[in-house]
Structure 1
Amino acid sequence: MKTDFPLRKIIHVDMDAFYASVEELDNPELIGKPLAVGGNEIRGVVSAANYEARKYGVRSAMSGYLAKKNCPHLTFVKPRFARYKEISQRIRSIFFEYTDLVEPLSLDEAYLDVTTNKKGNPSATLIAREIRKRIFDEIGLRASAGISINKFIAKVASDFNKPNGQKTVNPEEVLQFLEDLEIRKFYGVGKVTAEKMYRLGIFTGKDLKEKSLEFLEKNFGKGGGHYFNIVRGIHNSPVKPHRIPKSVGAERTFSENLSSEVFMLERLEHIATELEKRLKKSKIAGKTITLKIKYSDFTLQTRSKTLPYFVTDKSLILDTAKELLYQEKMENSVRLLGISLHNLNTDKKKTEAKKDSVSLQLQFEF
C-alpha cells in the first residue's frame, strides 16, 4: 500500500461485555446465566448485557421490561461504576507498560500507538496478543483487539473476532479489507446513515469507493469527505492521550516471596523513595496513599488512607504505608508491594499529547 501519509501501528483494545464480565468476575455464580447490568423488569434501561443474554436479543439501552420479555430468566444486577473504573484503571496500567500513547474511549476500550514501544517489539500483533493474555491472567477478563495502520481500521477490526479474539489488517490488505466491508460495519456509520447509503446504492466499501468526492459531499455534507478518505485507508488522526493523571505509583515484584513484615518494610522504603522521585519530577502531590499487596497465590489487596493535606515527602508516604501494612495480618507470603498516591492536585491540569516524530517505513511487520 503506497501512501503519502504515515503508517502507524495502532491497536484498538475492546473489553468483552465489560460491565457484565466484571459482575461475573466478582460473583462466579452468575457465569453462564443471561445477565443484564442496570434496570429491571419494571423500570430502567439495560446498561450492558453478557453474551448469553445477547442470544435472546438483550442489548444495551433496551428497556428492562423488554429485556425481561425477550429473556424471562434474565438476571438483573445494579451497576457498580466505581468498581468498573477501578478495573479499567488496572487494565490501563497494563497498556502504559507498552506505550505512553494511550487514548481511552471509555472505561472498556482504548487506542494504543505501538509504532515505537517500551518493549522494543516490532510486531503490533504480538503486542496485542500479549496484552490480552495479561488482562486475562492478571485480572481475569477477556478482551478483543484490532490491529492496523490507523485508528479507524483498528476500531473496525476489533469487532471481527469477538469475543476473545483479534484481527490484524496489514498495510497491503487495507484496501481490499475496506472494499469488502459492509457499509453498516464502517465505524461512525449509524443506522440512519446506512439506510441513506442503501438508497444511494452503497452497500459495501467498494460501492462507496466508486462514488466521487463531489457526490459524497453533495449527499453527506462535510461527512462526505470523511467517507471518501476512510474507504481509501486515509485516517491521519493520531492517538491522543490527553490524560490527566489520576494516580502516581511505584511497585516491586520480588524474586522470592516475602513472609516477614521486617523484610517488607525494607522494600517499602525503596518503593517510597522511587515514588517521591516521580512525584517531584512531575510536580504532583496527593492526599490518598494506597498500599498494594499481591500475595503468592496472586490474590490482590489494597489498603488506603486519605490525609487532610497533600504530600510528596518520602517520610510521610512511608509512615502511612507502614501503618497500612500493619493494619491487618498478612493473608499469605507476598510477591509484590506497591505504593500509589491518588486524590491528586491535578484536577485542573491538562496534559498534552506527545508528538510522534518517527519516520515510518511503508512496509513493516505487524
Structure 2
Amino acid sequence: MSNSIQYEYKQEYLTVSVPTKYKSENLRTEEMVLNMGPQHPSTHGVLRLEVVTDGEVVVDVIPHVGYLHRCFEKHAESLPFNQIIPYVDRLDYVASMNSEHSYVMGVERMLGIENDIPKRIEYIRVVVAELNRLASHFVALGTYAMDIGAYTPFLWMMRDREQILRLLEWTCGSRMLYNYIWIGGLFYDLPVGFEERCLEFIKYLKPKLVELQQLVVDNKIFIQRTANVGVLPLPVAINYGCTGPMLRGSGLRYDLRKVDGYSVYPELDFEIPIGEGKMGTVGDCWDRTWVRVLECQESVKLIEQSLVQLTNDYKRTRDFDPQAIVPKKIRPKAMDFYVRAENPKGELGFYFRTDGRSDIPVRCRARSCSFHNLSVIGEITKGALLADLVAVIGSIDVVMGEVDR
C-alpha cells in the first residue's frame, strides 16, 4: 500500500492508509472544527461557538446566535409605549432596572417631559439602577471565577446579590423582571424604611468588595489565567462598537453617565475606571475584570450620595405621588428618535419611529451592547489556547436574551 504509515501497538503492527494530501509532514497543521454550545454552561447563555483549532491553538471562532430569540422589536411594534416596559425587562434579564431606565428616558425625551420629572424620582431611579448594576457585575464576576476553576467566589457573589434582589423585590414586588420605572414616574415610591436598610447593606458591602479583590483579581492563579489573554486593542474595540467594561478595559475613559450626563448623574461624584495593564497587557481579560470590580465601588458611592439626597433635600412627603405626571395617553410627534444609556455591559440604545397618530411605535429597535461585544471574540482569540477560550468568553460578560433580542 502506497502512502501508508505503520503504528506499533502492543507488539503488533497496524497498517493504516493515509490519503496523499495528509502526508506526515502536514499532520501537524491539520485544522479541526469543534462546537462549543449551544448548551448553557460556560457560554453564559444559549450560544454556539464554531471553533477552528490547530491542535490546542485557536485559529478562528465564529459565534452563532439566535437560539434564544425573544422577538422584542416586533412585540414592541404592536403595543403602546407604556406596555413595552415588561418586554424591555427581558432583554438583559440580570440588569432589568438599567434597561428600563434607558427605554423610559427615551420616551420621556420624545414627549418633552424629561425636565419635568421630580428630583426624588430621578434619585430613586439612580439607586435602583446602581443596585442592579452591582447585581449584574456580581453575576459576571462570580460565574467568571467559576468558569476558570474557582467555586468560592461564585457563592460569595450570589450571597451578596441575593440581598440586592431582596431590596428590589421589597421595592416593586419582583425579584428580576421589575416593571418599576414608568414613563413619567415610578410604579411605587420606595417602601418606608428602604433608605435605612439600603444604607446598612452598603456599609456591609464595602469590606466585602475588598475581600473580592483579594480573593479573585489579586489571586496568583487568576492572574496567570487572565493576564495577557484575550487582549482587545483599543482601535479594534472602537471599530467593532464595543462599549462598557469591554471598551474601558482597553483604556478608553468612556461612560455615557459622564458623556451624555443623563438623569442626575452630573450632580453626583464618581470616577470612570479603565484598564491600565497592571498585570499584563492593556485590554486583556484581567483588565476587564478589574474594571468591573472598580465599577462596583463606584456604584456604591453613587448609591450613598443618592440616599443622602433622598433622606435630606428630596425626602419622602405625604403628598408625593410617583405617578403624578405619568401620561394617560402617549402619542409623540412624528419623528425618528434614538436614546442611549450606560448599562452594566455597555451602551443600550433604543431607536423609535413614530407617525404622530398612534401610541404604538411604527418601528422600535434595540441596540444591544452584548451583541457588539460578542462580535469581537474572533479577533481576540486568534492564536490563543483552547483552554483560554472559556476565559475570554467569561470576560466579555454576554447575556443572550439581549443578543437575540
TM-score clears 0.5: no
- Give the TM-score taking structure 1 as reference length: 0.23
- Give the TM-score taking structure 2 as reference length: 0.21
Answer 1 or 2: which has greater strand percent.
Answer: 1
Relative contact order (C-alpha < 8 Å, sep 6+): which is higher? 2
Answer 1 or 2: which has greater helix percent.
Answer: 2
